[in-house]
Chains A and B, each alone.
Chain A
Amino acid sequence: MTTFAQAILSGTAQGAIYALLALGFVIIYKATHVISFAQPALMVCGGLFSYHFSAVLGWPFWPSLFIAILLGAALGMVIERLALRPMVGKPVFTLAIITIGVDVVLRVLANRYIGADSRALRYPGGGERYELLGLALSHRQVTIIAVTVITVVSLALFFRYAKAGLAVRATALDQETALAQGVRVGAMFALAWAIAGGLAAIAGTFIATGSGGIEQDTWIIALKALPAIIIGGLDSLQGAVIGGLLVGIVEQVTAVYQAAYLPFLGANFSLVAPYALMLLVLLIRPYGLFGTKEVERV
């Protein structure tokens, strides 16, 4: 039982990272109707920003993270302005392909920076562990969960109460009507990308503090956001969070139990488990757990 609870707890910490990435994806999708495959590059770049300020320039961890969030947001806005704004009105498919192109270009640049080593960020909390009722979480895992909770709550408040948050939601619902209220729709697209870039930077930073740091193929981690989004529903913010957490938990639980109980599925089945869950959800609810029916057609 303790093993199980422990797996869920560790999975939650990992899932929090997926949740941040999934949230960025959903925010872009809702506000601009673009399916963005540039999240992996945004995550890697965000992580490298933190790495550069912290490991290379010697800044403390938290200010480095703060700068990385700002730079990640700026990067998101630049992508939107240069690669996507000129293509407004083009088919969804075309726009998705453009984001893949952006992703590849940015990752090539990032790989130049990374080189052959792993770029690992030293986490300031060190190796401390918190223990409670026989369950243990590292300082880093606790921080990831806390930062994610704070981020998600702030975003929810922003979309509910802030003027710009309301304007992004209005843009998502009906662009023409939003324009008629004086909302600068283009600026809202940029804002959505900025938020996604900032979220990806947080995710990338915490991945950089993990055991592997950031290597050339670390971007693959961001693909976990895809099953998360599909499980949660393409157009649901709470779905993205819950989907992300579920993916992390399923992965961890499978990693812990599968070798003992279902050995014939082979090693590393835990990497595939989120996709198995995704297929299951798709069979039962094609629009995801929290998605709206309409989105199914995309």
Chain B
Amino acid sequence: MLRVSNVEVVYNDVIQVLRGVSLTAEQGRITALLGANGAGKTTLLRALSGLLDIHDGKVTKGEIRLGEQAIHTWNAPKIVSAGLGQVLEGRRVFAEFTVEENLRIGGHTRRGGLSESIDEIYELFPVLAERRRRTAGYLSGGEQQMLAMGRALVAHPEVILLDEPSLGLAPRMVQQVKDLVVRVNQERGTTVLLVEQNAMMALSIASHGYVMEQGKIVMDDEAQNLLNNEDIRDFYLGRGELSTSYRNLKHYKRRKRWLS
């Protein structure tokens, strides 16, 4: 279980981005985190996985617990070793590495059993097995997303953070990613914190959802209730399935204040 209490994050000592965020990703469940561009979702994930440092950001207040341990002062390698994995926004596969090398580096913190672990990933993502010697940079966007997820799973994390896995994917691929998240969650019992712009996709598989705006959680409910919520429908689900593609449209800048 991952528990965030009252976390505040400041970049460059002055820019406050998170203003007291509290959130819980229940053990073995999928939790969705929604929010418009710039709400601070990625920043929250960086705080969880110890990547703020490299962005000159800091957790200035609050606490983050992974199981029993307070991890908000730990560095990224220590957090990964403790069982928290992350798929970064924009996939970030090592383009010059082969598929297999990407998976091997995903298992960097493992002690032994690496090839079995990689074989499990090939079973989960057969498309990667076919392309194991291929240079990752030449894979399609969907395949790269699979690779990024596979890479994070090699280490057998207890909790995995997914930052917009459906970003830039065609509807069929989005469906596939969605099925895989469910499979990983069910077969491995991995706790998932799923950040998405595609609210429909995220809420349809999550048990609980949070909505973030301007560095605060402004809504927090059962995923089912959020799906039926007027504001959510209006903001995220307006055009049903197609809401994904808004992300890439320049004119979609509409902001709506929650709870006001």
Contact = CB atoms under 8 A, between A and B. Distances in A.
Interface in A178-200: 178-184
For B76, B88, B96, B101, the residue with the greatest tally of chain A CB atoms inside 10 Å of its CB is B76
Majority secondary structure of chain A interface residues (helix, strand, loop or mixed): helix
Nearest to B90: A177
A250 B175 CA distance: 60
B108 A182 contact: yes
Interface residues of B, number: 25
A163 B50 CA distance: 22
A183 B54 contact: no
B191 interface: no
Nearest to B109: A182
A175 interface: yes
A86 to B, nearest CB: 14
Contacts of A169: 94, 96-97
Interface string B47-59: 0011100101000
Contact of B106 (A173, A176, A181, A184): A181
Contacts of A173: 94-97
Interface in A152-183: 163, 166-167, 169-170, 173-183
29 contacts: A163-B104, A166-B97, A166-B104, A167-B105, A167-B108, A169-B94, A169-B97, A170-B97, A170-B105, A173-B94, A173-B96, A173-B97, A174-B92, A174-B94, A176-B51, A176-B54, A176-B88, A177-B88, A177-B92, A177-B94, A180-B76, A180-B92, A181-B105, A181-B106, A181-B109, A181-B151, A182-B81, A182-B108, A182-B109
Interface of A: 89, 163, 166-167, 169-170, 173-184
Interface of B: 49-51, 54, 56, 76-77, 80-81, 86, 88, 92, 94-97, 101, 104-106, 108-109, 151-152, 155
